Amino acid sequence: MKDQKKTPLFDRILDYINEETTPFHVPAHKMGKGIHPKWKDFAGENIFKMDLTEVQGLDDLHQADGVIQEAQELAAEAWGADSSYFLVNGTSGGIVASICTAAKQGEKIIVPRNSHKSTVYGLIVSGAVPVYISPEIDREKGLVGGILPSTLQKVYRDNKEAKGMVAVSPTYYGVCSDIKRLIEITHQYNGIFIADEAHGNHVYFHEKLPKGALFLGADLCCQSIHKMSGSLGQSSILHTKGNRVDVNRLKANLQMTQSTSPSYILMVSLDLARSNMAIKGHKLLEDLIELTEKTRKQIEKIPFIEVLGPSITGIHGIAEYEPARLVVSARKLGIQGYELYKLLRKDYQIEIEFGDYFYGVCILGIYTTHDELDRLVRALKDISMRFRGQKKPLVWNEELPPIPPQILSPREAYFADVEKVPWSRAKGRIIADMVVPYPPGIPTICPGELITDEVWDFLDAQSKAERHFHGSEDGSLTSIQVVSKLG
């Protein structure tokens, strides 16, 4: 067992600063001297002294064998991985590197339809061909559920040569699939399981939270430590487990997706967040879970306001719910999630993570306080009073069209000549972008796919119903990027 109180990178940086070595190296602000005085007045001097580079004694992220390696080994132990790699370009960079490691140009990889856009970028960079798998949809709630193991079994049976799969769990909404079974099935087919745990890095530190994918045998696992475990924005970790992954290839791919001047401030924040979670994580999460549960109960009692919780498990492929998340809806008041998001900021000085058609997603953290949550509850109570009886409740219960045929890989579509056409003339064309209507928030069509009659009719109906679209230029369906006519 390593001593998780240790913070090797932080300590070595302080030593370097105290040595007062004359800096003839980047960054050119020279340990803060060149930073704008306004910023120094606000932030103080010390943080800028820590903005260093690979000076002697501070190791090299891309060939770590000193303090960075020591810090990464502590992280590997804290999360139960075989090896861990600090990411200074977020989980996004880790996902791209992971996909490039698992599947090469032309090889198949199973990708959930509700993947983060970094997965699509991974497909574009690697040239791998996605075999899309649809998560279950709770149509009444307008919520994307989990991936059913039986669906994955079928996809593998039809695509035995697939090199593995990517899975997001928990999702932004706190939904967890049966990751244990998905990993077992992937391994039966000798595939590599890539866990997108952008939102799940904290679950390893408390038994009341869903089991982490690494614990369940994932081969690669990307975690945004900045989202839940208290490091600085953009700092993440990629972990590996087992012997399915070619680690040298992974390291090469990480060099491709990350800066040659990685920020030491970001890496230090990972070193310190890891120590904090390993030492105090259990207690902090215990408090957070208790606080969230209490708040959820209070919100449940507010008329016309809904909140997601563990009761949604057991159907729609949802194996577990991440209890430390608060996802609220005012749809019974006729208020969309986007409107709720704006209203909370404008009238109550509360900024939540985002809103979609039905939901407002509030991200809580290990230092969220009772007072902050109390303020949210009071705001929701007020909204419930102010807006009742004004508008019709929002409903959605649509059947999604089947996934359309893939004519080009995402890479081919991305690099093809494209043109913009009015939506009315898009039928039968190959799309260069993706279109994601809300609800439920998964792409109806992805780059390289054919705009079939069914897809066109579905999206057109959603557009007439004034749904919001992600991926299209202005959030509507006025015009769309398609691949110019082939050959």
Ligand X SMILES: Cc1ncc(COP(=O)(O)O)c(C=O)c1O
> In the bound complex, which residue of the shown chain has the CB atom lying closest to ligand X?
90
Min. distance of Cβ 361 from ligand X in angstroms? 10
Min. distance of Cβ 169 from ligand X in angstroms? 9
Closest CA to 1 of 59, 65, 80, 68: 80
By beta-carbon proximity to ligand X, the closer residue of 71 and 198 is 198
Dump strand ranges (E) for 170-246. Answer: 175-176, 192-196, 220-223, 236-240
| Helices marked H in 262-369 | 264-300, 337-348
Min. distance of Cβ 432 from ligand X in angstroms? 22
Distance CA 386, CA 43 (A): 41
By beta-carbon proximity to ligand X, the closer residue of 67 and 133 is 133
Number of Cα atoms under 13 Å in the Cβ half of residue 155: 25
Cis previous bond, 440, omega within 30: yes
Q: Residue 70, by phi and psi: left (phi above 0), alpha (psi -120 to 50) or beta?
A: alpha
Is there a contact between 357 and 394 (Cβ–Cβ < 8 Å)?
yes
Burial 136-160 (b: 16+ CB within 10 A, else e): bbbeebbbbbbbbbebbeebbeebe
Min. distance of Cβ 61 from ligand X in angstroms? 16
Min. distance of Cβ 217 from ligand X in angstroms? 20
Closest CA to 247 of 76, 38, 473: 76
By beta-carbon proximity to ligand X, the closer residue of 8 and 94 is 94
Min. distance of Cβ 205 from ligand X in angstroms? 19
By beta-carbon proximity to ligand X, the closer residue of 236 and 263 is 236
By beta-carbon proximity to ligand X, the closer residue of 72 and 223 is 223
Token pair of 135, please? 């998560």
Given the rule CB under 6 A, which residues bind ligand X? Answer: 90-92, 116, 118, 168, 172, 196, 198, 224, 236
By beta-carbon proximity to ligand X, the closer residue of 226 and 296 is 226
Distance CA 31, CA 34 (A): 8
What letter represents residue 16's amino acid? Y
Min. distance of Cβ 177 from ligand X in angstroms? 13
By beta-carbon proximity to ligand X, the closer residue of 90 and 149 is 90
By beta-carbon proximity to ligand X, the closer residue of 34 and 233 is 233
Min. distance of Cβ 172 from ligand X in angstroms? 5
